[in-house]
Amino acid sequence: MSVKLHIPGVCDLTTQNKTPFPLNQWYVAALSTELADQPLARTLLNHAVVLFRDASGKVSALEDRCCHRALPLSSGTLDGGGIRCGYHGMLYDGSGQCIEVPGQDVIPRRAKVKSFFVEEKDGLVWIWFGQDEQTEPVSSAPDYPVHSSGDYIWGGGVYHYRAPYQLIHDNLLDLSHLGYVHLRTIGGDPGTHMNADMKTTADGDCVRVVRHMRDSTPPPTYVAAYPFKEKIDRWQEIEFLPSHLKIWTGGVNAGTEDLDNPDRGGFHMRGFHGVTPETETSAHYIWTIATNPQTDPEGTLKKVVDQTALTFEEDKVVIENQYQNMLKFGDQPMVSIHVDAGANQARRIIEKLRTQAE
Amino acid sequence: MSVKLHIPGVCDLTTQNKTPFPLNQWYVAALSTELADQPLARTLLNHAVVLFRDASGKVSALEDRCCHRALPLSSGTLDGGGIRCGYHGMLYDGSGQCIEVPGQDVIPRRAKVKSFFVEEKDGLVWIWFGQDEQTEPVSSAPDYPVHSSGDYIWGGGVYHYRAPYQLIHDNLLDLSHLGYVHLRTIGGDPGTHMNADMKTTADGDCVRVVRHMRDSTPPPTYVAAYPFKEKIDRWQEIEFLPSHLKIWTGGVNAGTEDLDNPDRGGFHMRGFHGVTPETETSAHYIWTIATNPQTDPEGTLKKVVDQTALTFEEDKVVIENQYQNMLKFGDQPMVSIHVDAGANQARRIIEKLRTQAE
Amino acid sequence: MSVKLHIPGVCDLTTQNKTPFPLNQWYVAALSTELADQPLARTLLNHAVVLFRDASGKVSALEDRCCHRALPLSSGTLDGGGIRCGYHGMLYDGSGQCIEVPGQDVIPRRAKVKSFFVEEKDGLVWIWFGQDEQTEPVSSAPDYPVHSSGDYIWGGGVYHYRAPYQLIHDNLLDLSHLGYVHLRTIGGDPGTHMNADMKTTADGDCVRVVRHMRDSTPPPTYVAAYPFKEKIDRWQEIEFLPSHLKIWTGGVNAGTEDLDNPDRGGFHMRGFHGVTPETETSAHYIWTIATNPQTDPEGTLKKVVDQTALTFEEDKVVIENQYQNMLKFGDQPMVSIHVDAGANQARRIIEKLRTQAE
């Protein structure tokens, strides 16, 4: 049975009661490190948003449009308690209320802009998009203790994709592509990946794909970051949620540990992947990679982050290329193969969540 | 009361009896200095025009399309009495008549292209756009004696805007933005600008905004160009007409002169601003700045022109950014503040003139 | 009588029973030299095609879309007998059949992509586009013995045009433009070209234009490549066919030979011009130029190829410029002159061939 993606211009499944993206979700808006002394403009789920950190350190998100003459607030400046427009100087606080109109005493009653719910947690800035403007968050934003536990060191980046978000899901849920796309970094022998033991399970809005590749040759990134002896037993554990994925991978010297033991040793790479739609045809990919250094922590981290960045650039080329070709050919049948199980589960979940609640 | 702009893609007020631009007007097509030994292609009010100066010095304007195979005449060459197409060599005179078809003796009866009324005056090339092709100019093109009187030295430039012409009107009629946009040049203290004495008057198709800023700190351009002692009394006199504006500014040492006296001394900058629509969504901004040097005339002029150019580049960034954001957000309410009076008057005049005469 | 082109956005004559391009034709897909160790992506008559040469040297053409996840096969790699997708490694043979799915034993029944008929002959790769997918070639692809006879040395190139294919036909069938567009290379005196003896004949789908320019000054390319004494008698023989043209030009010392004698001596340039639509608004121009060196064959060939490339770049600028202007001005009348006879014949042939057979 085939499961279609909702791909604008290709196979648009939108009907009257469908939204383009799952709503009532926390999405990743930014890495905490992106918000220093400048406002940040970012379109998220079709909303042009300005994110900024005020003098007290609190992060706010407003509609990125001055209510006077429509200039983006993001081209203005941070000013103590708020953000000041760069055209005629109107000043807004973090709730979107205009608190100063230079040259006049009375602030017009309508002088305010829309604000969004944000939460900053574990180095990530989350933003809530409800079913409508009135729908408040039903829960706190997700935790991600890998960033804050102290057991790992980590770095990350933000990539912009000219491709719909669901193609990124597909890519992350099917790591068999490593052998063809990422030969230079985390890939290694294609046969190893295509023939991995794979188990796919779904639970609620979550899909888990676990792959074990025993007695395999460690790929370049692994060898560069960890003193493996020869062959390794390698795992890939992918957890999909509607707005983000975790991909925890690693390896131990072959035959030395139980791969199902969560306390196994060896080399670990814990990837966090925020996949936040920008529009129906573009997305933000906000990622971090954490690792557990044995020696030379800074050197190892730099290697892991640099090679991960390189890997994700390779994926970006493939996925944007794929989307352009889908647009060119339109809605034609796709033939599924064995590695697509996880991606197909994720598609069903997104499809279900795109159904607007009554 | 709010006054809307006609902004394509944002709040288009076009109705059956509205034109996108005021017609029966002389618009600035070019600076005289732009027309030397090469033809000049410029789209004006949606007409693709080629402007050129013939061997006798006369400027002509033709439809920029050879009647043979539609090549732009502007990619051809000037040839004595006319302009020659760069494909098969057909030669046209300034009236648009084909006067030579290389290789054949008879010139086809239909071999001609449309011409436009142009007048060159005081260093400016004006072009007439009537209500229809038959409507001839009702008057001569405007004079601008500042360029020809000998009392001023001047320079100028031509900027292309990816924004509708009315956003440039708004910008020029509300100089309160100087304190936020032009800090580096003619701006100075924001408070000074937002709190200036301001008087707005309208008369026929003309709006005048006069602002006095007494006892204020002279901005960088002023200090660079004139030996002010300390504080100055400063004026800004803006005159809006449908196709161009004059902005005459200057200052005297504080408390030394009557600012309403047209013969006041001090430092003068007389700006001319031709705002000529290219299309509904883009415009040409053809400007000059004249000044009255005390000493070092060439050095002063260079400073004034360079800093004016820098200032107008700052405006261009803001206005194009504003338009992109208006397109992104669509037609949403704008909150007016006290400085908008002159711009709102100008909008009413443009709105009235866009109504096609019966 | 005027003959219109089918120019999308300008004067689109498409009706229900018209195709945008002549079908049941062999078109030039590539130069043989373009197919070495990499696949070649090229859109031909609106089909996105990947061309590749397998290990045995045979050239194949497939639909450029993997049937699994729609990635272009052209971004994959050549692998012995076929082409392997760069995402998950599916391998296809030259018939479009998937012959390997990494990691699974059974190849899904639907795992194949469309293939096209291709023939490689005399240094050119031809591709057949029938009236529909079932229509097989009615003949072998055209021969071009100039490339293989050994009498000439030759080189060539491939240019991409952002203009409809018929504008390239016009350009090649009317060499009177040489005097205006190609002054620097093969042009020479404009009057010589516009006043050449010209004879136009049509026969079936073929148009021939023969021009003789007696006692004329040899142009720069000729002088650079051949030891002419002074004036020359020059010929241009153009043969138009629906998918390609031959332009055979040359010269002899004035008054020394009969120009109608096919065995005449002197300097020869034999141009082959494949004009293959990419889409309705863009085209591939695949050309070669052959010459008969007297002395210094490699030096002469290099001069002729370099100057031909320069000449064709000049044409490309003119034609793309022309098309942009046609789009700007829309469907307005074109005035024909004497040199248009051959181009007008070709337009009638294309118009006839665009009519879909019953």
Angle between helices A341-353 and A165-173 (to 10 degrees): 150
> Taking CB atoms and an 8 Å limit, are B72 and C325 in contact across chains?
yes
Q: What is the pLDDT of residues B111-148, one digit of tens each?
A: 999 999 999 999 999 999 999 888 899 899 999 999 99
Look at the alpha carbons of C297, C302, C303, C309 in this order and tell me if their dihedral is positive or negative. Answer: positive
Average pLDDT over residues C188-214: 83
C60, C80 contact by CB (below 8 A): no
Select from C64, C76, C71, C78 the least CA-distant residue to C114: C64
The predicted-structure confidence for A13-37, as pLDDT tens digits, reads as follows 666 678 999 999 999 999 999 999 9
Q: Is the pLDDT of residue C249 over 70?
A: yes
Chains that contact C by 3+ CB pairs under 8 Å? Answer: A, B
Is A70 in Cβ contact with B321 (below 8 Å)? no
Instruction: Identify the structural domains of chain C with CATH numbers, from first to last.
Output: 36-41+49-123 (2.102.10.10), 145-353 (3.90.380.10)
User: Residue A289: beta bridge partners?
Assistant: A155, A271
Residue A27, min C-alpha distance to chain C (Å): 27
C33-69: pLDDT as tens digits? 999 999 999 999 999 999 999 989 999 999 999 999 9
Alpha carbons A243 and C278: distance in angstroms, whole number: 40
User: pLDDT digits over B27-61, tens only?
Assistant: 999 999 999 999 999 999 999 999 999 989 999 99
- Which of B67, B87, B108 lies nearest to residue C177, judging by beta carbons? B87
Whole-number average pLDDT of chain C: 90
Chain A residues within 8 Å of chain C (Cβ atoms): 170, 174, 176-177, 179-181, 190-191, 193-195, 318, 321-322, 325-326, 328-329, 332-339
Higher pLDDT pick, A219 / C311: C311
Residue whose structure tokens are 């004698």: C261
User: Which pLDDT value is given to residue A351?
Assistant: 92
Strand, coil or helix: C28 = strand
Which residues of chain C are within 8 Å of residue A191 when distances are taken between CB atoms? 102-103
- Report the alpha-carbon distance of residue A52 to residue A63 in Å, rounded: 12
Give the DSSP letter string of A175-193: GGGHHHH-TTTT---HHHH
Q: Name the phi and psi angles at B290, rounded to 5.
A: -115, 150
Cα dihedral value A235, A238, A239, A242, nearest 10: 170
Cα(A243)–Cα(A345) distance, rounded to whole angstroms? 15
**Closest Cβ opposite residue B337 in set A64, A65, A104:** A104
Inter-chain touch C101–A337, beta carbons under 8 Å: yes
Token reading at B357? 């005469």
Phi, psi torsion values for C306, nearest 5 degrees = -60, -45
- Write out the E strands in C180-292: 197-203, 206-216, 232-241, 244-253, 267-279, 282-291
CA distance C77 to chain A (A): 10
pTM of the prediction? 0.91
How confident is the model over A292-320, as pLDDT tens digits?
Answer: 877 778 888 888 899 889 989 999 999 99
CA-CA-CA-CA dihedral for A239, A241, A245, A249, to nearest 10: -10
Q: What are phi and psi of C20, to 5 degrees?
A: -70, -25
Who wins on pLDDT, B194 or A261? Answer: A261
Average pLDDT value over all residues in chain A: 90
Interface of chain B against chain A, CB under 8 Å?
170, 174, 176-177, 179-181, 190-191, 193-195, 318, 321-322, 325-326, 328-329, 332-339
Chain C residues inside the 8 Å CB shell of A326: 70
**CB C275, CB C168: distance < 8 Å:** yes
β pairing state of B282-291 and B267-279:
antiparallel
Model confidence at B1, pLDDT cuts 50, 70, 90, reads very low
Mean pLDDT of chain B: 90
Rounded CA-CA distance C223/A24 in Å is 76
Taking the CA of residue A315 and the nearest CA in chain C, the distance in Å comes to 9
Residue C102: closest CA among C115, C86, C117 = C86
C242-256, C266-280, C287-301: which has the minimum mean pLDDT?
C287-301
User: What pLDDT sits at residue C33?
Assistant: 97
Lowest mean pLDDT among A87-96, A335-344, B242-251, C240-249: A335-344
Confidence of residue C133 (pLDDT cuts 50, 70, 90): confident
**Do A91 and A100 touch, CB atoms closer than 8 A?**
yes
| Model confidence at C191: pLDDT above 80 | no
Q: Considering only CB atoms, which chain A residues are within 8 Å of C71?
A: 318, 321-322, 325
Nearest residue on chain A to C63, alpha-carbon basis: A329
Tell me whether residues B104 and C337 touch, CB distance under 8 A: yes
Chain B residues contacting C, CB < 8 Å?
Answer: 48, 64-65, 67-72, 75, 84-90, 101-104, 108, 110-111
Instruction: Compute the nearest-CA separation of B336 from chain A (Å).
Output: 6
What local confidence, expressed as pLDDT, does residue C75 receive?
Answer: 95
Residues from chain C contacting residue A338 (CB–CB below 8 Å): 103-104
Contact list, C193 vs chain B (CB under 8 Å): 103
Neighboring chain A residues of C65 at a CB cutoff of 8 Å: 325, 328-329, 332
